[in-house]
Amino acid sequence: MSHYYVFNGDADGLCALHQLRLVEPAAAANLITGVKRDIKLLDRVNVSEGDRVTVLDISLDSNRKGLMRLLEEGAMIEYFDHHHAGEIPQHANLITHINLAADVCTSLLVDEYLAGRFHLWAITAAFGDNLIQKGRSLAKSAGLADSDADKLSHLGEYLNYNGYGDSLQDLHFHPAELYEAIKPYKNPLDFVANSSAFAKLAAGFKEDMGHANLLQPLSNDDHCAAYLLPNEPWARRVTGNFANKLANEYPNRAHAVITPNHTGNFTVSVRASIANPQGADVLCLQFDTGGGRKAAAGINQLPPGSLDDFVARFKQHFCG
Ligand SMILES: [Mn+2]
Task: Report the separation in Å between the CA atom of 11 and the middle of ligand 1, taken as the mean of its atom positions.
Answer: 8
- pLDDT at 319 > cutoff 90: no
Task: Report the separation in Å between the CA atom of 286 and the middle of ligand 1, taken as the mean of its atom positions.
Answer: 26
In the chain, the amino acid numbered 69 is R
CA angle 58, 59, 60 (to 5 degrees): 115
> How many CA atoms does the CB half-sphere of 209 hold within 13 Å?
17
Q: What is the pLDDT of residue 230?
A: 96
Task: Report the separation in Å between the CA atom of 305 and the middle of ligand 1, taken as the mean of its atom positions.
Answer: 33
Q: What is the pLDDT of residue 297?
A: 87
Task: Report the separation in Å between the CA atom of 242 and the middle of ligand 1, taken as the mean of its atom positions.
Answer: 18
- pLDDT at 124 > cutoff 90: yes
Task: Report the separation in Å between the CA atom of 132 and the middle of ligand 1, taken as the mean of its atom positions.
Answer: 13
Task: Report the separation in Å between the CA atom of 82 and the middle of ligand 1, taken as the mean of its atom positions.
Answer: 7
Task: Report the separation in Å between the CA atom of 83 and the middle of ligand 1, taken as the mean of its atom positions.
Answer: 7
Task: Report the separation in Å between the CA atom of 195 and the middle of ligand 1, taken as the mean of its atom positions.
Answer: 24
CATH topology of domain 3-204: inorganic pyrophosphatase (n-terminal core) (3.90.1640)
Task: Report the separation in Å between the CA atom of 102 and the middle of ligand 1, taken as the mean of its atom positions.
Answer: 11
Task: Report the separation in Å between the CA atom of 131 and the middle of ligand 1, taken as the mean of its atom positions.
Answer: 10
Task: Report the separation in Å between the CA atom of 129 and the middle of ligand 1, taken as the mean of its atom positions.
Answer: 6
What CATH class is the domain 215-318? alpha beta
Task: Report the separation in Å between the CA atom of 12 and the middle of ligand 1, taken as the mean of its atom positions.
Answer: 5
- pLDDT at 296 > cutoff 90: no
Q: What is the pLDDT of residue 251?
A: 93
Extents of the domains making up the chain: 3-204, 215-318
Q: What is the pLDDT of residue 24?
A: 87
The model's pLDDT over 160-209, given as tens digits with 9 standing for 90+, comes to 999 998 889 999 999 999 999 999 999 999 999 999 999 999 999 999 99
